[in-house]
Amino acid sequence: MCIWIQEDNSMAQNSVTVKQLVDNTRLEIVAGNQYLERPITTSDISRPGLEMTGYFNYYAPERVQLLGITETSFSERMGHEELLMVYRRMADAATPAFVVSTGLPISDELKQAADEAKIPILTSTLTSSRILSNMTYYLGGQLAPRENVHGVLIDVHGLGVLITGDAGIGKTEAALELIQQDKARLVADDRVDIYQEDEERLIGEPNGVLRNMMEVRGVGIIDVQQVYGAVSVRSHATIALNIHLSNGKIGEANFDRLGNDNDTLEILGVKIKRMVVPVTPGRNTASVIDAAAVKFRTANMGIDALKTLEERMSAEMIKNEKKDLENKND
């Protein structure tokens, strides 16, 4: 069974400024310090090879324009007026920035065209492929579609566990107990902001205002980093497992008793493993969450307790059948 989350509070960051890109991808500013607030609205990066020849039919001006060894060496064959004309066409009102890789020299024509259009020029000593990867990774994460989910996200033994359930069921208290036992680190409490990193991975992070904070009923707000130290928190985590806490009594609902249920939770089109855990008086929920996370990790390593049990039972049945057959022959 697959549970699908599609909330009305689905969101996506509309843009990232060039300054934010510079601060997070080891870029240096060559010109246009005053233009760093220009918005970037897409994670796609353009390598304007055909455009250098004057072919602009499919030019995407809204992308960051990355110039590497190929583009720069080709431009050296062009005359001043021709090169200036090409760069002026590339310097569109929607173009966020020019990036020159590999520490290559920047032509006067590019500086002139960028200055006229009020576009910053950035550079890096990294190769084109490396800086392209860095920019795509950062922009992809910042501009990806997002959803916020009511729950608690913790890192249990290096595994991102999203704890969900009705309000007041004890999600925060269970997470807090694991943090106190040094078995978990807090990522987000109450509201978890989730975005899709790729086709198979979901990244969860806290809302900026709620970062490192937990609300415990009857106690109030706790700053986890201040109380339990910097090692007790994480800025983000890859979500691998959803543990849903349910109010149902063990004898009144069809809870998975053998661990062979294939429930999944779907968020932003990505499915993750889902376990439903009953919450009853006297049951240590934190210990159950810890055990569930360890079981999930060992299962991914090929250790299947259910399969081992089935093999033992089969062996015992064969052994008993042999005994029965021997007794009949006697």
Residues 270 and 301 placed together within one structural domain of the fold:
yes
Residues 151 and 271 placed together within one structural domain of the fold:
yes
Model-level pTM? 0.74
| Identity of the amino acid at 223 | D
Range of the domain at 69: 13-141
pLDDT the model gives residue 56: 93
User: Does a structural domain hold residue 328?
Assistant: no
d(CA 41, CA 47): 17
| Identity of the amino acid at 255 | F
d(CA 161, CA 293): 7
User: Does a structural domain hold residue 237?
Assistant: yes
pLDDT the model gives residue 197: 82
Last residue of a domain, one of 110, 141, 172: 141
d(CA 153, CA 266): 16
pLDDT the model gives residue 81: 94
User: Does a structural domain hold residue 228?
Assistant: yes
Whole-angstrom CA distances from 134 to 24, 32, 127, 196, 275 are 9, 21, 11, 17, 35
pLDDT the model gives residue 249: 59
Last residue of a domain, one of 116, 141, 166: 141
Sole residue written with tokens 């310090």: 33
Active site (catalytic) residues: 150, 171, 190, 257
37: tokens are 């607030």
CB-based contact 163:149 (threshold 8 Å): no
* Number of C-beta neighbours around residue 290 at 10 A: 20
User: Does a structural domain hold residue 1?
Assistant: no
Residues 131 and 202 placed together within one structural domain of the fold:
no
Residues 30 and 153 placed together within one structural domain of the fold:
no
CB-based contact 289:163 (threshold 8 Å): yes
Residues 77 and 58 placed together within one structural domain of the fold:
yes
Tell me, what CATH number does 263's domain have? 3.40.50.300
Sheet holding 98-100, edge to edge: 28-31, 121-123, 98-100, 64-67, 45-46
Angle at 89 (CA atoms; ends 84, 92), nearest 5 degrees: 125
User: Does a structural domain hold residue 312?
Assistant: no
pLDDT the model gives residue 204: 94
d(CA 52, CA 90): 9
| Identity of the amino acid at 201 | R
Residues 124 and 183 placed together within one structural domain of the fold:
no
Last residue of a domain, one of 81, 116, 141: 141
CB-based contact 207:235 (threshold 8 Å): no
Residues 114 and 175 placed together within one structural domain of the fold:
no
Q: Which three-class secondary structure state does DSSP give residue 180? A: helix
Residues 179 and 286 placed together within one structural domain of the fold:
yes
| DSSP β-ladder status, 16-17 and 28-31 | unpaired
User: Does a structural domain hold residue 316?
Assistant: no
pLDDT the model gives residue 248: 67
Residues 102 and 213 placed together within one structural domain of the fold:
no
Residues 246 and 132 placed together within one structural domain of the fold:
no
What's the structural domain count of the chain?
A: 2
> Along the 330 residues of the chain, how does pLDDT read in single tens digits?
555 555 444 455 678 999 999 999 989 999 999 999 999 999 999 999 999 999 999 999 999 999 999 999 999 999 999 999 999 999 999 999 999 999 999 999 999 999 999 999 999 999 999 999 999 989 988 888 889 999 999 999 889 999 999 888 889 999 999 999 999 999 999 999 999 887 888 999 998 899 999 999 889 999 999 999 999 999 999 999 999 998 865 555 556 665 656 788 999 889 999 988 888 877 889 999 999 899 888 888 877 777 777 788 888 888 887 777 777 776
d(CA 22, CA 20): 5
* Number of C-beta neighbours around residue 315 at 10 A: 10
Q: Is 277 left (phi over 0), alpha (psi -120 to 50) or beta?
A: beta
277: tokens are 């855990």
Tell me, what CATH number does 28's domain have? 3.40.1390.20
Residues 265 and 191 placed together within one structural domain of the fold:
yes
Largest Cα–Cα distance of the chain, in whole Å? 107
User: Does a structural domain hold residue 55?
Assistant: yes
User: Does a structural domain hold residue 160?
Assistant: yes
Residues 135 and 154 placed together within one structural domain of the fold:
no
pLDDT the model gives residue 7: 47
Angle at 49 (CA atoms; ends 47, 51), nearest 5 degrees: 105
Q: Which helix (H) or strand (E) holds 311?
A: helix 305-329
Secondary structure letter of residue 34 according to DSSP: G
